[in-house]
Amino acid sequence: MPELIVTKDIDAPGLDTLDGYRQHGGYEALSRALKEYQPDELVELVKKSGLRGRGGAGFPTGTKWSFLAKNDKTRYLCCNADESEPGTFKDRMIMEKSPHLLVEGVILASYACHVSTAFIYVRGELALAGRQVERAIEEAYAAGYIGKNILGSGFSLDVILHRGAGAYICGEESALMESLEGRRGYPRLKPPFPAAVGLYGGPTVINNCETLATLPAIIRNGAEWYASFGTEKSTGTRIFCLSGHVKKPGNYELPLGTPIRTLIYDEQYGGGVLDDRQLKAIIPGGSSTFILGADKVDTPLDFESIAAAGSMLGSGGVVVMHEDTCIVDAVLRMTEFYRDESCGKCTPCREGTYWLTEILHRIEHGDGKESDIDLLMDICDNISGKSFCPLGDAATSSITSSIKLFREEYVYHVREGRCMVGRGVTQTDR
């Protein structure tokens, strides 16, 4: 088993308490950083580690920090823990089991970025995670890790927990800021980017929960150590959220570059496809990423390889579908999600996801037309690249990729009025 970085000791009893966390080296990175590093040196260190954002876009973290506008406005850090991407549940685990790891990461990033107020935006539905992080913040305040003059360094920081009210869009960084400021969760126009004009108009760094939780290990062990994991351009490890038709769904931390096959089939991880059925398709990075066919099972799980295979590493949510999955049904389910979660700000996403759902629904239920399939593709084209924020593009990924890979299933649905695959329609069952 390869070395774990973020999930090391994750199941250690008491890790969620300050004492438990300290017993496993907690806050060592912080005291070392405050003593040994100037903020700019930390930025350089993280740049050198090659750490890339774990939220979905995979932007290099250190570079993001160095883009912060240098002006006299108040800077902010927002931890994006509004984990809402279907198929993704890693941040939830970190917050529930090791909340101090996140808090330490938040403090480190704040120190590196000259931030004196940091917000942790936790998805509202993650009630336990919210409580755990809240308690961790309280403990950290009491222990002097947060507050005025942290560990005598002169660095002061306030950390504020904010619970989301239940909108997928608030995981989009600019909508997250709108929401934090008390407004409707609407994405903002970019530019200006948050690094220039962000929360309350100040330069703002927004990092994913897992990204921040990786920082203590990098500081404890060094950039070279971290970069020794993974591939050249996708360094380190990632927590992959394995779900769907596998024997052992769950969170597995693996070095980037590990083949999908290992994650699904290795006994330490997925342990194989459920009921040992045939693998049909994989969503590699949450429901917003393009579906890959079973032929891509040997693709290494790193940013570049997954992109080359025609999808994205995204949020790390790997969804496995076996041969009995009706792809139309699966895509309908995902599209309903995007219809319900569209914020409504822009026309293509708001109206398009509604229309797509209606059409998928009628195809799935045997009322579709053959022309519907091309219509779906064209509606997707009218949404993708035309919507205000990437949510519109995301809504189309599963549709376009599934039609490309499994067009015959759509046609079958239209012609036969039922699913082409699955136990529900086999002769023996009916």
Partner 1 sequence: MSEEKTDELIHLTIDDIPVAVPPGTLVWAAARQAGIEIPIYCYHPKMPPLGACRMCFVEIEKLPKPPQTACTTPVSEGMIVHTKTEKVIKARKGTLEFLLINHPLDCPICDKGGECDLQDFTLRHGPGGTRFDLYKRHYSKPIPVSDRVMLDRERCILCQRCTRFSSEISMDDGLVMISRGYKMEVGTAPDHAFDSIFSGNTVEMCPVGALTATAYRFKSRPWELKRIPSVCNNCSVGCNARVDVRVDKIMRLMSRTNDAIDDGWLCDRGRWGFEFVNSSQRLRTPLIRRDGKLEPATWDQAFYLIASRIRSIADTHGAQAIGGIGSTRTTNEEAYLFQKLLREVIGTPHIDHHHGYFPVPRDLLTGKPWMMTNSIADIEKASHIVLIAADPYERQPILNLRIKKAMKSGAHIYIINESETELDRFASSKISIPQNGAGSAAKMLLKHVLNDEIAKAHQYEEMRAMIQSDDEAIRAAEEYFGVEATTQLQHLAETLVGSTGAIILYDEMATLAPGCADLAADLQALAVLTDNITRAGSGVGPLFEDANSLGARDMGLLPDALPGYAQTAEKGLAYHKMLSSPDIKALFVMGANPLRHVEQLPSKLEFLIVQDIQLTETAELADVVLPAVTFAEKDGSMTNVDHHVQAIRHALRPLPGAKPDWEILVEIAKYLGQKWTYTRPQDILSEIAASNPFYSGLTWERLGAQGVRTQEQMELNDTDVAMRKGAAHA
- Nearest approach, Cβ of 386 to partner 1 (angstroms)? 5
CB-wise, 46 or 180, nearer to partner 1?
180
CB-wise, 192 or 222, nearer to partner 1?
192
CB-wise, 49 or 289, nearer to partner 1?
289
- Nearest approach, Cβ of 375 to partner 1 (angstroms)? 6
Decide if 263 contacts 317 (C-beta within 8 A).
no
- Nearest approach, Cβ of 383 to partner 1 (angstroms)? 8
Run of H or E including 292: strand 292-293
- Nearest approach, Cβ of 65 to partner 1 (angstroms)? 23
CB-wise, 190 or 423, nearer to partner 1?
190
* Of the candidates 106, 123, 212, 203, the residue with the CA atom closest to the CA atom of residue 169: 123
The DSSP string of 14-83 is TTTSHHHHHHTTTTHHHHHHHHH--HHHHHHHHHHHT-B-SSSS--BHHHHHHTS--SSSPPEEEEEE--
3-state secondary structure (DSSP) of residue 293: strand
CB-wise, 261 or 362, nearer to partner 1?
362
Cα–Cα distance list, 4 to 8, 19, 87, 105, 373 (Å):
5, 21, 22, 17, 45
Cα pseudo-dihedral 259, 264, 266, 267, rounded to 10: 160
Q: Rounded CA gap, 329 and 337, in Å?
A: 13
CB-wise, 141 or 355, nearer to partner 1?
355
Q: Rounded CA gap, 22 and 211, in Å?
A: 20
- Nearest approach, Cβ of 400 to partner 1 (angstroms)? 15
CB-wise, 124 or 293, nearer to partner 1?
124
Cα–Cα distance list, 367 to 9, 199, 336, 412, 414 (Å):
53, 48, 18, 12, 7
CB-wise, 121 or 186, nearer to partner 1?
186
Q: Pairing between strand 250-255 and 279-283?
A: unpaired
Cα–Cα distance list, 249 to 27, 123, 267, 318, 377 (Å):
31, 22, 12, 10, 32
Residues binding partner 1 (CB under 8 A): 167, 169, 184-185, 189, 339-348, 350-355, 358-359, 362, 375, 381-383, 385-388
Q: Rounded CA gap, 191 and 126, in Å?
A: 31
CB-wise, 344 or 366, nearer to partner 1?
344
Tell the burial category of 340 from Cβ atoms under 10 Å away from its Cβ (0-12, 13-18, 19+).
Answer: exposed
Task: Identify the bridge partners of residue 120 per DSSP, sorted by sequence position.
Answer: 79, 161
The DSSP string of 336-360 is HHHHHH--S-SHHHHHHHHHHHHHH
- Nearest approach, Cβ of 49 to partner 1 (angstroms)? 28
- Nearest approach, Cβ of 349 to partner 1 (angstroms)? 8
- Nearest approach, Cβ of 73 to partner 1 (angstroms)? 15
CB-wise, 202 or 352, nearer to partner 1?
352
Q: Rounded CA gap, 397 and 410, in Å?
A: 16
